Every structure is written in structure tokens, then in C-alpha cells.
Structure 1
Amino acid sequence: MRRMKRVRRISSREDIFVDTIVYIVITFVFLVTLYPFYYSLVISFNNGIDAARGGIFLWPRQFTFDNYKAVFSNDQLLGAFFISVSRTVIGTIASLIATSVFAYGLSHKKLLFRKFYFSLLIISMYFTGGIIPYFILLNNLKLTNSYLVYIIPSLITAWYAILFVNFFQSIPEALKESAKIDGANDLVIFGKIIVPLSTPIFATIALYMGVYHWNDWYSTAFFTQNKRLRTLAYILIDLINRSDLTSILRGGTTQKDVAIAMQTFTPETIRMATMMVVVIPIVCVYPFLQKYFVKGIMVGSIK
């Protein structure tokens, strides 16, 4: 008995030591990951001229909202915000519908030419025609300089379709068969059985698609020249590539405003404030979808 107690004490001490090391490592990684975001937030609320002196690490030294006032006074930003929000909502919903319906068809093992369709899907993941043929294709389809260039090309994504297929195939066939016995067709089965049971995968892919649409500046830079179609992500990239404050604040501001701004702001603080405007909305959405990531696959029972 004494020997057993000694073994338990030793093992418990080892467990405590290992757990302590794990917690220390996790805490360190968490802080290293979080601090750049926190630092950007702190700088965005600090006076620009004061921030240029350096030495700011944990909180603003001269707290101010002037950076955000300058950002929101830019008329281009408000239009870009509307484009980004509408594109994210419409693009995500349209992509979910198109990709899930396409994947539901592929999930049927008796589908005619199923292997052929799957092969085309896999090939599209690894091989592309390149940027120039892609641009020519979009131009011939009259999608360049159009709002639809943000929606149509990303309707179906091969990798997300494969995830949907694997998830749909994990749902017991007995559910579908019992519904067919009751007279339900494939559309009813998909809408009333498959979709409710697939909430976790829908939420996960919706988050991925939403982040893609929100962060995409590539489409704006290469396929649109219309300033009204610029997105927030493109505005941020544009600000990062600029160096002088006059060009950063040129939208919606007068020369007098710029002269006053040069006594308060710096390009760095304006960039940080713009970055927060771009990042915070998607960060706020994530907690509402996170709960679906840990949900079980089945939320019902076989009839």
C-alpha cells in the first residue's frame, strides 16, 4: 500500500510539472499571438505625433479618437465599408447555397459520371490557367468593373465542396430512405433533413467564406477600376503602400484639414486605425459561430 501511494505521489507530481510547462507554453504563445493586435489597437487610440516618439507598449500615452475621426471622414471608406459588408453577406450566402447543392449531388454514390465530376473538381484545385487567361475570361463574361466579379467567380470552391461531400456522406442513409418512404423528394430531403443536420459544417464554411470575402483585395486590384467598387481590404492595402499623410487623407478632406492633421496624425496611426476598422467586425462575428465548431454531427435521431 505504501509503495502504491509513493507511485501515485510521484505520478501526480510529474503530472503537475507537465501541466505547468504546458500552461506556460500556451500562455506564451497566446501573448505572442495577441500582442501585435493589441499594440495596433493601442497605437490607433494614441496621438500620432506622440506615438512617433516611441515607448508605447501597454496603453495609449495620449488617448484620442482623432485617428478614427480622420478615418471615418474619408468618403471613400464609407463606400468601401458598404461594398465589403454587402459583398461578404451576399457572397457568403450565394456560395453556401451553390457549393452545398453541388456537393449534395456529388455525395450520392449512384450519381451518373460521379467520378468524372469529382476528377474535374480535384483538377480545379491544383491547376489554373493563370492570371492573364483568368482576366480575359472575366472580361469576355462582362464581369470586370462589375459588382458581380466579387460574387460569381467564387460561387463554388473545390475544397469547401469536398468538405460538404464528406459531411453529407456521414449522415445515415436511413434518414433519407425514411423520408423518401413518406413521399419526400431530394429537394425536401436536402432542405428539411440534410441542412438542419449540417449546421456545424455550414457555420464553419460560412466563416471561412466570410473571411475570404471580407479580406479579399486581389479582385478589386486586378478586375475593377471603378472607385465605387473598392473594398475595405483594398483601401487598407492602398494606405499601407502610401507614405505621405496628404495622399492618405485626400478623400473627403481639404488642404486646411490636412494641414491641421499633420500636427496630430502620422501615417502610422491612420493605418492602425484603418486596420482596426477592417479587423474588428470579423473578430466580433467569430464568437457567434465558434459554438457550431464543437457541435456533434447528428442532432436528431433515425426514424
Structure 2
Amino acid sequence: MVLVFLITFYPFFYLLVVSFNKGMDTALGGVYFWPRAFTLENYSTFLNDPDWIKAFFVSAARTVVGAALGLFVTSLVAYGLSARQLLFKKFYYMLFIVGMYVSGGLIPYYVVLRQLHLLNTFYVFVIPTMLNIFFLIIAVSFFRDLPPEMEESAKIDGASEWTIFNRIILPVSKPLLATMALFLGVSQWNSWLDSAYFVSSDNLRTLTFRMIEIINKGNIPLDSRSAEYASQVAQVTPFSLQVTAMVIAVAPIICVYPFLQKYFVKGTTIGAVKG
């Protein structure tokens, strides 16, 4: 287990070390466990580049909005499908299952987004992902296992369906909601294909797209400003800038996970086969 931990942990630790080391010094090799020439210039270059900062806020906004909408819509639809008296329940299930396993392809999907006027807008990041069918099926199973007496007693007291869902169902579903929020948030944060295919404005480029862009360019700087700055200070290199962007991209997920860990452990067992 120690060996597995070291193998999986060291690459992330190495990225952190390199991000705090001078880029030109890193290029000489020999930096493994701690910064040999400590510097903050890599982070200074990143934070002083408006394109990176703009991409960071776009990624943060789509993560918060996308995860919130996905969590709300998916849980709301799942609650409706979990109703025991729902008519045509099997038909609805068939539609969702077919939609999960069968895709129309990238071109029809692009045409649909264009007809909905979502291309080159922020909404293309959050609206198509509002309903996650995988978590929909899990949530339906979770809601069905809740004691029906809770809903019945609330209805006797005159509560509406929305009140039951908002005041009773959601508070007792924290493990499920935390797990869904974590996965949906990570998916939104790491997504870059929609930024590459469905967005042409530089103001809507995400952080992961910028990272992929600079990695694909290899040793070519992201733009002329970064190249000029690197030549002046002789400390920042394209590789050190790449590593810094990776560290900044991973940091929010690492910071959020400990707060959701206790719910995440419970939520991963939802839908398991019961003996």
C-alpha cells in the first residue's frame, strides 16, 4: 500500500515542486523532492496573464452553476420518477436508458446546440449537462428506499409535493447530494471539449482548454506576452507555466474533497446490491 501511495502521490508532489522552482533551473534536471531554486515567478506570470485569469473564472463559474443546476434538475426528475403512482414509468425509463447508451454523434449534437442558440455562449457549458442520467438512476433507487411514511405524514399535514421534496427529501439525502455534487463539479471543472468545439470567443475559454492548448504547443509559449516575460526574467519556461497551471487546476478539487469526504463514502454505497 505504501508503494502504491508513493507511485500515485509522487507525480502530483513533483508538479508542486517544479511550480515553485525556477523554470530555467528545472530545465537543467536534478529537481526531484524540493525546489532547488525557489521562486514565485511561475505563479506571478500566471496571475499577471489576463487570459489565464479569465479562463480560471470561466471554469469556476461553470463548475458552480453547472453543478448546482445538474444537482437540482437531476434530483428533481429522480424524485418524480421514484413516485410509486407515476403512470408510464417504464416508458420514461426506456427513454432515459436509450438516451444514456445511444448517442446521435457530435455533428447532430452540434446542430441541436446551434438551433437552440447555445453556441458561443456560457449556457452551452451548463444547460446540456443539467440532467445526468447515470446519477438519475442512482437517485431514483435512493428515493425509493426512503420510508414512504415521511411523505404520507407530510401530505396529511397539507404539505405540497414541492414542500415535501424541499423540506423532507433533500435534507435526508445529503450523502447522495454530496456525491453527485462532487462528481458533477469535477466533471465541469475538467471539461474542455465543449470549450474547444462549441465556443469560439476567447472570453469563454476554460482553464483546462488553456492547459491543453499550451501542452500541445510543446515548447512554444502560450502567447507573445509570456515569451517576452520569460526572456526578460530568464526564470519562467513554458514547462514551468504548464505545471503551475496544473497545480492551480487541481488545488480547488483537493480543497473541497475533505469537506465532502464523509458524505462521499456513504454516497458511493448507494445503489449497491443488498443481501
Assess same fold via TM > 0.5.
Answer: yes
Look up the SS of the partner of 2:258 in the other structure.
helix
The residue that corresponds to 1:127 in the other structure is: 102
Q: How does 1:8-157 map to 2 (within 5 A)?
A: 26-157=1-132
1:283 Cα deviation from its structure 2 partner: 1.1
User: Is residue 2:259 matched to residue 1:288?
Assistant: yes
Look up the SS of the partner of 2:13 in the other structure.
helix
Aligned-residue CA RMSD (Å): 1.6
CA distance in 1, matches of 2:79, 2:261: 24
The list of structure 1 runs, each at least 4 consecutive aligned residues, that deviate by more than 2 angstroms after superposition, is 253-259, 293-297
Scaled by the length of structure 1, the TM-score of the pair is 0.85
Higher Rg: 1
The count of aligned residue pairs is 268
Structure 2: gaps of 5 or more residues: 270-275
Say which of 151, 172, 175 aligns to 1:176.
Answer: 151
CA distance in 2, matches of 1:258, 1:36: 25
Partner letter of residue 257 of structure 1?
Y
Which has the higher mean CA deviation after the structures are superposed, 90-99 or 220-229? 90-99
Which has the higher mean CA deviation after the structures are superposed, 98-107 or 174-183? 174-183
1:266 Cα deviation from its structure 2 partner: 2.0
Partner letter of residue 122 of structure 1?
I
Alpha-carbon distance change, 244 to 28 in structure 1, aligned in 2, over 3 angstroms: closer
1:210-262 deviation line (CA, Å, top 9, x unaligned)? 001111101100000010001111111111111234x3243xx377534214x
1:107-133 deviation line (CA, Å, top 9, x unaligned)? 112211110000111111111000111
State, as a whole percentage, how many aligned pairs show the same letter: 45
The residue that corresponds to 1:277 in the other structure is: 248
Scaled by the length of structure 2, the TM-score of the pair is 0.93
Partner letter of residue 19 of structure 2?
S
1:162-219 deviation line (CA, Å, top 9, x unaligned)? 1111111110111111111111121111111100000110000000000011111011
1:60 Cα deviation from its structure 2 partner: 0.9
Alpha-carbon distance change, 249 to 66 in structure 1, aligned in 2, over 3 angstroms: farther
1:36-55 deviation line (CA, Å, top 9, x unaligned)? 10011111111111111112
CA distance in 1, matches of 2:91, 2:175: 28
Which has the higher mean CA deviation after the structures are superposed, 66-75 or 197-206? 66-75
1:295 Cα deviation from its structure 2 partner: 5.0
CA distance in 2, matches of 1:163, 1:254: 46
User: Is residue 2:229 matched to residue 1:257?
Assistant: yes
The residue that corresponds to 1:23 in the other structure is: none
1:66 Cα deviation from its structure 2 partner: 0.8
Is the 8 Å Cα contact of residues 45 and 67 (structure 1) preserved in structure 2? yes
Say which of 202, 208, 222 aligns to 1:248.
Answer: 222
